[in-house]
Amino acid sequence: MRRLAVAVAFLTRLPVPGVAGMDAVAVGRAAALFPAAGLLLGGLLVAARHALPARLPATVQAGLLLVLLALLTGALHLDGLADTADGLGGGRTRDDALRIMRDHSVGAYGASSLILLLLVEVAALAALLPRLDCDRWLLLAMTVSRWAPVPLARALPYARREGGLGAATTEHAGWLELTVATVITLALAGWVGWLGLATLGGVALLLVGLGWRFHRRLGGVTGDTLGAAIVLSEALVLLAGVAAG
C-alpha cells in the first residue's frame, strides 16, 4: 500500500496522507505501481463521465473530462510535453536543449504541441464517449500511459548531470519494478481484448522511437521527457480506441 500511495502522490495532485517525506528511492520503487495509479485516474474519469448531463454535446463532455484530468495531475505532464517540444525544437545542441527545457516560459514549439495534442484528445474522446466500450478505453489510456515512463527510465540514463525530478525513476526503478508494472498493464490490456494488447504494442513502438530520439538529442531522459511520453501515449491509446470502433 505504501508503494501505491507514493505512486498516486507522485503522479497526481490527489491528497495522500503519510507520504509527505517520500524520497527518490521510494518513488523509484513505487514505479512498479504507476499503472495502478493510472487505473485510479481512469476510474475517476469514468465516474465523472457518467455524472455529466447526457444532454451536453460530446465535445463539451470531452473538454470537461480533460479539464478534470489536468486538475487531478496538476497539468504536470502537459508541462513536460511543452518543455520537451521547446527543447528539442529550439535547441541546437544537447546543452541548449536542456537549458531551454529548464526555462519556465513556453515557446512556439511547446504551445503548438499542447494545442495540437489537446485538439486530438478532445476529438478522440468525443468520438469515444457515445460508445459502450468508452469506459474500457479510458481505463486503458490512463493505465498504459502511466506505464510508459517506466521502461524509458529503465532503458535510458538521466540526461542532466545535476539530477532532477525524473532521476528518481532512472536511478531507483529496477527490473522488478518494470516487470510488475508491465504485468499490471498487460492484464488490463488483455481485459480489453486483442485490440488492447495490440494498442499496448503500438505504445511500445512509440516508446522505442521516443527513446531513440531522447538518447540521440539529450543523452537520456528527464522528468519533462517522461511526462511527454505519458501524454503522447495517452493520446495514442485514445486514437486506437477510435480506430477500433
Q: What is the pLDDT of residues 52-102, one digit of tens each?
A: 999 999 999 999 999 999 999 999 999 999 999 999 998 888 989 889 998
Q: 221 φ, ψ to 5°?
A: -120, 165
Q: What is the pLDDT of residue 30?
A: 92
DSSP 33: G
Q: Which three cell numbers stand for residue 109?
A: 514549439
Residue 165 has pLDDT above 80, yes or no: no
Q: Which of 81-90, 141-150, 170-179 is the most confident on average? A: 141-150
Number of domains in the chain: 1
Q: What is the pLDDT of residues 2-34, one digit of tens each?
A: 889 999 999 999 988 877 667 788 888 999 999
Q: What is the pLDDT of residue 213?
A: 95
Q: What is the pLDDT of residue 21?
A: 66
Helix (H) or strand (E) holding 194: helix 194-218
Buried b (16+ CB within 10 A) or exposed e, 75-90: bbbbbbbbbbbbbbeb
Alpha-carbon torsion (195, 196, 199, 200), positive or negative: negative
Domain residues for the domain of 197 are 2-244
DSSP 193: -
CB-CB contact of 181 with 147 (8 Å): yes
How many whole angstroms separate alpha carbon 162 and alpha carbon 186? 35
How many of the other CB atoms lie within 10 Å of CB of 213? 13
Q: What is the pLDDT of residue 41?
A: 97
Q: What is the pLDDT of residue 161?
A: 74
Residues forming a β-bridge with 221 = 158
Question: Average pLDDT for residues 97-115, to the nearest whole number?
Answer: 91
Residue 214 has pLDDT above 70, yes or no: yes
Q: 187 φ, ψ to 5°?
A: -65, -45
Q: Which three cell numbers stand for residue 195?
A: 485490440
Given pLDDT bands bounded at 50, 70 and 90, which one contains residue 127? very high
Residues 6+ apart with CB under 8 A from 104: none
Q: What is the pLDDT of residues 181-193, one digit of tens each?
A: 999 999 999 999 9
Q: What is the pLDDT of residue 20?
A: 67
The alpha carbon of residue 136 and the mean position of all alpha carbons in its chain are separated, in whole angstroms, by: 17
Question: What SS3 class is residue 5?
Answer: helix
Predicted structure pTM score:
0.95
220 in the Ramachandran plot: left (φ > 0), alpha (ψ -120 to 50) or beta?
left
Given pLDDT bands bounded at 50, 70 and 90, which one contains residue 170? confident
